[in-house]
Structure 1
Amino acid sequence: MTRLIVAAGGGGDAVAASMLDAALYGTGEPAVILTYAWDRLLVDPVPGPRSPDDFTGLRPLTPHVPAVTADTEPVAPAGSTLPRLAREIPQTITLIDPRYGAQGIAVQLTSLVEHLEPESIDLLDVGGDILAHGDEPTLRSPLGDALTLAACCQLDAPVRLLVAGPGLDGELPAGTLRPLLGRNILTLAPEHIDPVDGVLEWHPSEATAMLAATARGIRGLCEVRDAGLPVPLTDEGPTVHEVDLDATFTRNRLAHAIAATATLTEAEALSREICGFSEIDYERDKALRLSTRAPAPLDWDAVLSEVAEFEHRARSRHISHTTFRHLTEALNLPGTQRDALKDLLLRTHPEQYAPPLWHIPGTE
């Protein structure tokens, strides 16, 4: 017997799934995690989610579901955090194939359930944007969550919807989410973060980084994403809530609309119609802008000066923390320089490292 955890939006949700598997279920047989290969342009220069055709070294777990192994690699120019994640966590990572819309993901889920006969199925979303109607002005990445939600609601097996870190994705405020949340089944503590501590050192997910930070007791206001969104780090941050799956599907207009889709193109068109945008269009536009920007040699002394200026401005916005992803983008550095920037800052100002966030002193 094993467990199945569906990472609703991919990316950091898969890291959080590994964390919660140990925190909720103990040290038994590790779960199987079903997730997108959908990393933002900081990691993957190709817009949108990847399909199995974008990888080598996948292992067929079922006829419809491939597993990511220690030998899996993305096919250039695509990039992915999943192969490294598969090497560093005990759970089995399996790959959502989004090419065939919600119907295709439902087939994958059915195939996994028939093969695994899992004792439990959890659909996990970090932040809570899966609870959106679809027309909220702060919503930025609804498509992946809506697809997995629609697919899970077609599964002939009980699925538990979990929301971790309400509001930490910077999309729906915690106050908006609060009336929609069910019982608090867990409040994460530092010991729950330990199993993924090494992953958080390199993984670019901002929401999961803030989830870990709040579990470690970090409080304040964290600036994230390329838009510089302020996200409060509060006592609600490390909580995990069970939410009514059927009510969430009823509320989510996009999930309802795309439930019968058989292609990602159909689902994306419905996202434009219902939400007013497609996040893949946003990635396409951003990728085009980045492709026209010639890389320049980095002057690290100048970068340190720019960091100091960024921190000065951030203090005026009452920002106490930021992510290394946001700092990289705020300094207009290539995404490939994120790790080098982090290494530089840890060497020069180690006292400001509040793992896995960067602390901006003077705003307490």
Structure 2
Amino acid sequence: MRRLLIAAGGGGDAITTAMVHAALYGEDTPALVLTYAWERLVVDPVPGPRSPADFTGTERVGELLHLVTPRSAPVPPAGSLLPRLAAALKPALGILDPYTGSTGMARQIAEAAAYCGADRVDIVDVGGDVVADGSEPTLRSPLGDALAVAACRRAGLPTAVHVAGPGLDSEVPEADLLPRLGEPAFTLTAGHARCVDAVFDWHPSEASALLVAAARGVRGVCGTRDAAVPVVLGPASARVYRLPLERVLEINRLARALEGVEGLAEAESACRSVCGFSEVARERFRAARGFGGAVGSADAVVDAGALYERFAAWERRTAALGIEYVTTRRFAEELALSPGELALLRGRLKGRAAPPLWRLNVGR
């Protein structure tokens, strides 16, 4: 028997799901995590999610269920870190295919439950947009979470929804989320984060990085990329809240609108109706204009002194905003660092590490 969990938002949610699995069942308990291959433009230059057909080397264990293995690879020009995650995380990873809509995803989930011998499902979301109602002005990526909820409802399996680190994805503020979440079920610790320790050396997920830092006891104002307001790591940041599926459906209007949807285009239309936008369309727009891609270019000889001076000037500007900690992704993108420059700077900043964040010299 394997536990069956769903990483609701794609990308870094699989990392958070591995931590929640460790807290709920123990990191060595066999498990399958279903996740979207939807890793945004920083990883995948092709907008929108990938389907199983966009990978080679997956392991097909049913009519609809494809497992990602360390030998899997995205078909160019697509990109994906899921094969590398499959090597790094203890739970197995399976691909959720949103191109089949909530109806097809429900069949995938039912097939996965049969494969695992599981009689229940745990949905995991980092940040909390799974309990957004669709009207929040800062909401950016509600579709994956809502599709997962709608598909689980249709699959008919007992399902619990776990929200980890409310507000850490910079979408719905923590203060707006906490009244919807009730009392916390448990708090993540450094021991639960141990299973993902090495992932942030190469994975750009910011929300999961903030969650790991919170689980390790980091508290303070954190700067992430492309967010108007910094995230404050506080008492609730390492907590996990458990809600019944029906309660989430009461809150999440988009999830209710997606019940019975048979394809991604129809799901996009529902998202426009409920939330006023399509995040897939936003990705297409950004990709067409060259936003969000990987920052690294071919490395020339790196001038270490000049590089650190650039970082120091950036640090002074950033700390002046009241920010105490930053993600790797923020300074890598804002300084447009090549891979070689990033590696050199990380080595120079070892004394500032608050893994997986970096501490700024505030007040310098």
Q: TM-score range by the shorter chain?
A: over 0.9
- The alpha carbon displacement at 1:273 in A equals 2.5
1:179-328 equivalences under 5 Å are 179-290=179-290, 300=303, 301-328=305-332
The question of whether the paired residues in 2 share the 8 Å contact of 1:182 and 1:244 is answered with: no
Q: Residue 135 of structure 1 corresponds to which residue in structure 2? A: 135
**Paired residue type of 1:312:** R
In the alignment, what sits opposite 1:92?
Answer: 92
| Aligned match of 1:156 | 156
CA distance in 2, matches of 1:22, 1:228: 33
The TM-score normalised by the length of structure 1 is 0.93
CA distance in 2, matches of 1:229, 1:55: 36
Q: CA deviation at 1:341?
A: 4.2
Q: Which residue of 2 aligns with 1:345?
A: 345
Distance 1:207 1:86 in 2: 19
**Residues in 1 aligned to 2:12 and 2:108: alpha-carbon distance in whole angstroms:** 21
What per-residue deviation string (whole Å, max 9, x for no partner) do you get for residues 204-258 of structure 1? 1100000000111111111113245411111211111112321211221111112
| 1:149 positional shift | 1.1
- Distance in 2, Cα, partners of 1:341 & 1:234: 32
Deviation at 1:172, TM superposition (A): 0.9
* Greater shift in the superposed pair: 300-309 or 108-117: 300-309
2:173 — aligned with what?
173
Question: Does structure 1 retain, via aligned residues, the 8 Å contact 2:206–2:327?
Answer: yes
Is contact 2:27-2:90 (8 Å) kept?
no
Give the match's secondary structure for 1:162: strand
Q: Distance in 2 between matches of 1:129 and 1:199?
A: 23
Structure 1 stretch displaced more, 249-258 or 93-102: 249-258
Identity of aligned residues (%): 45
What residue is the counterpart of 2:15 in the other structure?
15
Equivalent position amino acid for 2:38 in 1: W
Contact 1:228 1:326 in 2 (8 A): no
RMSD: 2.2
1:291 deviation in Å?
Answer: 7.6
* Distance apart, 1:183 and its partner CA: 3.3
> What secondary structure is seen at the aligned counterpart in 2 of 1:62?
coil
Higher mean C-alpha deviation, range 305-314 or range 248-257 = 305-314
Structure 2 CA distance for partners of 1:228 and 1:201, relative to 1, 3 Å:
farther
CA distance in 1, matches of 2:201, 2:82: 15
Contact kept? 1:223, 1:230, Cα under 8 Å: yes
Unaligned runs of 5+ in 1: none
- What amino acid is the match of 1:355? P
Structure-1 separation of matches of 2:273 and 2:205: 28
Please tell me whether the aligned partners of residues 28 and 90 of structure 2 are also in contact (alpha carbons under 8 angstroms). no
Name the structure 1 match of 2:360: 360
Contact kept in structure 2, 1:2 and 1:119, CA below 8 Å? no
More displaced, 30-39 or 303-312? 303-312
Give the match for residue 40 of structure 1: 40
Q: Distance in 2 between matches of 1:259 and 1:45?
A: 30
CA distance in structure 2 between the partners assigned to 1:161 and 1:277 by the alignment? 25
Q: Any idea what SS the aligned residue of 2:155 has?
A: coil
In the alignment, structure 2 segments of 5+ residues that lack a partner are: none
Task: Using the TM superposition, give the Cα deviation of residue 103 of structure 1 relative to its aligned residue in structure 2, in angstroms.
Answer: 1.2
Change over 3 Å in CA distance of 1:303–1:180 after alignment to 2: same
The answer to which of 344-353 and 50-59 deviates more is 344-353
Asked whether the 8 Å contact 2:41–2:292 carries over to 1, the reply is no
Partner Cα separation in structure 2 for residue 211 and residue 68 of structure 1:
24
Aligned to 2:51: 51
Deviation at 1:194, TM superposition (A): 1.0
CA distance in 1, matches of 2:341, 2:362: 22
Q: Is the 8 A contact 2:299 2:340 kept in 1?
A: no
- 2:205 and 2:312 mapped to 1: Cα distance? 24
